[in-house]
Amino acid sequence: MKILGTGLSGLVGSRITELLSPKHEFENYSLENGVDITNRDDIISRITRDTKAPWVLHLAAYTDVQAAEADRALGEQSAAWKVNVIATEHIVEACVASGKRLLYVDTDYAFDGKTQKYTEEDSIHPLCWYAMTKSEGAKRVLGLGDKGLVIRISNPYRAHPIGKKDFAHKMLERLLAGTEVIAPADQLFVPTFIDDIAFAVDALLAHSANGIYHVVGSQGVSPYDVAKTIARVYACDPTLVKKTTFAAFFAGRAQVPQYAVLQNEKIRLLGVVMRGFDEGITEVKRLEDAGL
């Protein structure tokens, strides 16, 4: 199947295309390829003139949480709004015109973190400007009805990260350099192995899925526990991992949910296995050691 996509050269998108290319043909619309998704006429023209691709994967996003928060007062003039909402509106418009289905990647930051666990049925309450813009983009996609699909992912990591390092490799880099990693022990989230995201996407496309799916790992952990696990798996000095509180770590930063253990039962019912962090990071090390 031919698939159109935005952001397919990024951390998540590049791995999706790598793992699924034996089955699918991808065409990437990204700045690296000279495509500005905020240019309405250009992106609509590109999507509508392709008559072969039934799906668009919309992964491109403005993801700098702190920079987005600094621009919050700009509202709809902010870069985060223009990329995460306006560009999404353009892509939705193109999908309506061409009859294509649209998959959009949302974030676990859609929730306020007042409850430890969340399903796809729970009401959202984004706290920071980045999360608000992503949630507004998701609303536009869900407006497509049975042709709109929103997947929420959380803290993705992979072997051989492309572009910016994922959170796990940022921790690993510090540990290998003998530098302390200070992480909250009273925060919970669900790190997600990107290879599992890729195979989940494949299953969702095959089922012509719509609505909302949590495509996340199967293990709620704290950042402190994550750092300890990385130190163990990569044989780093565990004493470099130091404990702090959520309140202290995020003081002065954009608000994010303290608890965001998204439940993934819905995607698992499609036969997709979403690994926990212990298993996922062990596989990352195996792949890196083998040069795969």
DSSP-based three-state secondary structure for 117: strand
Give the pLDDT confidence score for residue 199 in this predicted structure.
97
Amino acid at 20: L
Mean per-residue pLDDT for 71-98? 98
pTM (2 d.p.): 0.96
Q: How confident is the model at residue 152 (pLDDT cuts 50, 70, 90)?
A: very high
> What is the Cα–Cα distance from 131 to 81, expressed in whole angstroms?
10
Q: How confident is the model at residue 150 (pLDDT cuts 50, 70, 90)?
A: very high
Q: How confident is the model at residue 91 (pLDDT cuts 50, 70, 90)?
A: very high
Give the pLDDT confidence score for residue 244 in this predicted structure.
98
Q: Please say if the pLDDT value at position 219 is more than 90.
A: yes
Mean per-residue pLDDT for 261-273? 97
* Selection from 37, 131, 133 nearest residue 93 by Cα: 37
> Which ranges constitute the DSSP H helices of the chain?
11-20, 40-49, 65-70, 79-81, 87-98, 129-142, 167-176, 194-206, 223-233, 246-249, 265-268, 277-290
- For the record, the structure tokens of 151 come out as 């997947």
Q: How confident is the model at residue 31 (pLDDT cuts 50, 70, 90)?
A: confident
What are the pLDDT digits (tens) for 229-255?
A: 999 999 999 999 999 999 999 999 999
- Given a contact cutoff of 8 angstroms between Cβ atoms, the answer to whether 5 and 57 are in contact is yes
Give the pLDDT confidence score for residue 41 in this predicted structure.
96
Give the pLDDT confidence score for residue 164 in this predicted structure.
85
Give the pLDDT confidence score for residue 33 in this predicted structure.
85
> Which ranges constitute the DSSP H helices of 159-193?
167-176
Strands 101-107 and 25-29: unpaired
Give the pLDDT confidence score for residue 141 in this predicted structure.
98
Q: Please say if the pLDDT value at position 163 is more than 90.
A: no
Q: Please say if the pLDDT value at position 129 is more than 90.
A: yes
Other beta carbons within 10 angstroms of residue 45's beta carbon come to 12
Amino acid at 124: I
Give the pLDDT confidence score for residue 70 in this predicted structure.
97
HSE of 108, CA atoms in CB hemisphere, 13 A: 30
Mean per-residue pLDDT for 246-265? 97
